[in-house]
Amino acid sequence: MKMFATSLKGKRVMTVEGEELGDIDSIVADIKSGGLEHLLVRPVESVDPKLFKTDSEGRLVLPFSGIKSVKDVIIMELK
């Protein structure tokens, strides 16, 4: 399935266990390969950012490869 990156911005991100993580703020791509690398997610208040890799703005840095489903919400498998 093809989808524009702009259509992902603002979508809610949840784990496969049903925990809300936050909303997509941005997507990081590798300029040379064109591959998508990470989602930058603004965390909800209930998420402890210390449990995740974060960027300088406090956004969660989640691997693009962890996406399991994209519908009304994005389902991530975190390892």
Residue spans of the domains in the chain: they are: 5-76
Write out pLDDT tens, residues 46-78: 999 999 999 999 999 999 999 999 888 999 998
Q: What is the pLDDT of residue 2?
A: 54
Pick the CATH number of 5-76 from 3.30.505.10, 2.30.30.240, 3.90.1150.10, 3.40.50.1370: 2.30.30.240
Q: Are 26 and 61 in contact (CB under 8 A)?
A: no
Specify the pairing of strand 20-29 against strand 36-43. antiparallel
